[in-house]
Amino acid sequence: MNHWLVIAMLLFMASASACQEEKPFEPESVSTITYKNENRSEAVEIRNVAFELAGAAIPGRPANERLLLRKTTRTKQVIDEVGMEATTTVESWPMGTDLKEKPLYSITVEGVEPSTLNNDLIVVSRGLEDVSWWSVYKLGDGKHLFDTYVPVTQFSISRETLTRRYAGLEVPPDNVADSRLKAPNVVGVLTYASGEKVIREGLITCDDPKLAQVLRSYFDATRTVEFSSGSLQLSISQNPPLPARTLTISVPVAQDDLDFARSQTPAGLHVAAWKR
């Protein structure tokens, strides 16, 4: 066979393959709202769908790959009642994949307001009633990273290059699955993570069980986590009618890890490495 003919055939096959891979598509997802009034009870059900293009440079994915996300939130709220029922589903496909194909992953969880953070994370608001909290997932594969009862703290551990890290604080509920977190001296778990993994967790405990109960209460205390001067600063303040009081724990970040040995804690409070 003629040499140039072979080359032409190969170029045609490569072009056809590329065209097939980049076949255009135009999916439609409909948002809806339903109003019901039964037995003097008004209820509104809403289904919202949003698309988002994420990437590139997503941890765990090819460097130039972008992901297409379809975020579907379904809520049901009875008028004049506290809280709501809500479920969020986040589905992901590599950009260029027909959405009729099976997604790369799918996350379904009770919550609202799914959002991406720095092409690293997916954050879903889980607080449907009085308590605000969030679940954090890896954008690259949808796996759960950690839960936090303060907004996700983001920062860079380097001044020369942008090296993003994230922190959160889990305050265990009474029905927490891990029995170790039900101990009366437990205050919470401080999490230090990258966009790919949880790097370190620290268990915070208090010698006084009564104070520990106040510090992990959702209603008697307010918490913040900040990154300042190379350390994670956790502050817990007592809410009225309790006496005004703020306790601060400082945990240095060194060599991309939490340096518990140099932590500064108020008397009676402790923070130490902990594993699930």
For the stretch 48-61, pLDDT in tens is 999 999 988 999 99
Q: Rounded CA gap, 262 and 219, in Å?
A: 31
User: Is there a contact between 92 and 60 (Cβ–Cβ < 8 Å)?
Assistant: no
Kindly state whether residue 153 falls inside one of the protein's structural domains.
yes
In the chain, the number of structural domains is 2
Average pLDDT over residues 100-109: 96
Residues 177, 223, single domain; the answer is yes
DSSP structural state of residue 169: E
Residues 262, 164, single domain; the answer is yes
User: Is there a contact between 237 and 226 (Cβ–Cβ < 8 Å)?
Assistant: no
Residues 104, 171, single domain; the answer is no
Residues 81, 186, single domain; the answer is no
Residues 103, 201, single domain; the answer is no
User: Is there a contact between 59 and 73 (Cβ–Cβ < 8 Å)?
Assistant: no
Kindly state whether residue 251 falls inside one of the protein's structural domains.
yes
Kindly state whether residue 149 falls inside one of the protein's structural domains.
yes
Residues 240, 163, single domain; the answer is yes
Residues 232, 171, single domain; the answer is yes
DSSP structural state of residue 160: S
**Domain stops at, among 109, 142, 175:** 142
For the stretch 126-155, pLDDT in tens is 988 889 999 999 999 999 999 999 999 999
Return the pLDDT at 17.
42
Residues 73, 155, single domain; the answer is no
Kindly state whether residue 88 falls inside one of the protein's structural domains.
yes
User: Is there a contact between 43 and 36 (Cβ–Cβ < 8 Å)?
Assistant: yes
Return the pLDDT at 268.
97
**Alpha helix (H) residue ranges in the chain:** 3-21, 209-215
Kindly state whether residue 15 falls inside one of the protein's structural domains.
no
Residues 51, 148, single domain; the answer is no
Return the pLDDT at 27.
61
| Burial grade of 102 (CB within 10 A; 0-12, 13-18, 19 or more) | exposed
Residues 64, 151, single domain; the answer is no
Residues 240, 161, single domain; the answer is yes
Return the pLDDT at 194.
97
Kindly state whether residue 223 falls inside one of the protein's structural domains.
yes
Average pLDDT over residues 20-29: 57
Kindly state whether residue 21 falls inside one of the protein's structural domains.
no
User: Is there a contact between 49 and 72 (Cβ–Cβ < 8 Å)?
Assistant: yes
Range of the domain at 162: 144-276
Kindly state whether residue 263 falls inside one of the protein's structural domains.
yes
For the stretch 237-268, pLDDT in tens is 999 999 999 999 999 999 999 999 999 999 99
Residues 162, 261, single domain; the answer is yes
Residue from 198, 199, 195, 256 nearest 55 by CA: 195
User: Is there a contact between 164 and 118 (Cβ–Cβ < 8 Å)?
Assistant: yes
